[in-house]
Amino acid sequence: MVSEPVSSSERMIEQDRVVTGEAVALDVVPATLGNRMVSGVIDYGLQAAGLVLSLITWSVVLPQQSDAAEVTQAALIAAFWLLLLPLAVETLSRGRSAGRLVVGTRVVRDDGGAVRLRHCLVRVLLAVIEIWASSAVLAVCSCAVTRRGKRLGDLLAGTYEVRERDGSQAAPPLLMPPELAGWAAEADMGALPGRLTLAARTFLQRASSTRPEARARLGRQLADAVAPHVAPAPPAGTHPERFLAAVLVERRDREMAREMDDRDRDEAAATRALRPRYGV
């Protein structure tokens, strides 16, 4: 198996491609600079329009107040449109937005998984600097020179945008092989690299459309690459594809469990904060 960067014809960005000796390619295609600019114009244009209309309505409807009160209220309105609303949209939609729905892209983690609150928060906070404060100059320059077309928020958050409109999006979800469930629950999988995870997931999604000899060879190669990052080794005689599926499903389930634990802790902390002090 050879990892081979392939330059995009649309801009200076490289696709992540794993190529076998039979020329079977597994593509993970980042969004182009054009995709990101179009989606950005839509998203940030909607935010700017909402902010302007809200400020106009606020200035007309509310009575005259002190300068300090007016500045505070204007800042709260700006924070809602520039921070809170985009953060809520990106978090709840798992990396999508109005502009990305139009161009068919989505924000994912470097290993291809869904973004979480902390990723979206970093991206939204950095957008204030690289989008609004610099008129998007910093974001465009960063997207043009980085390998996956990342802006500064993506570099700090460990995310990037990918194209969603391809055949892999209709692939069925991965299932845990029953005979490997007990082994996977006890295995250590924390050190598995993100790009290897993404290559294995793409292979399993497209395995049914791959030639049998190429499928067998690539499955063995990916399993051999994943094996050093998983301990202990799977039971002897485990099929490579079932081994890969077990690793990916277990990683997904563990991450979902961590996300639920984080959510429960956040809700518990919010409940404690709302309790009256000293029983009052």
Per-residue confidence (pLDDT) for residue 167, from 0 to 100 = 44
Residues 125-153 have pLDDT tens digits of 999 999 999 999 999 999 989 888 899 99
Q: pTM here? A: 0.56
Residues 36-95 have pLDDT tens digits of 999 999 999 999 999 999 999 988 887 777 778 888 999 999 999 999 999 999 999 989
Per-residue confidence (pLDDT) for residue 13, from 0 to 100 = 35
Residues 97-125 have pLDDT tens digits of 999 999 999 998 887 778 999 999 999 99
**Matching residue, tokens 């593509």:** 27
28 has a pLDDT exceeding 90? no
Per-residue confidence (pLDDT) for residue 279, from 0 to 100 = 56
Per-residue confidence (pLDDT) for residue 175, from 0 to 100 = 87
Q: What does the block give as tokens for 22?
A: 């039979």
Per-residue confidence (pLDDT) for residue 9, from 0 to 100 = 29
**Sorting pLDDT into bands at 50, 70 and 90, what band is 25?**
very low
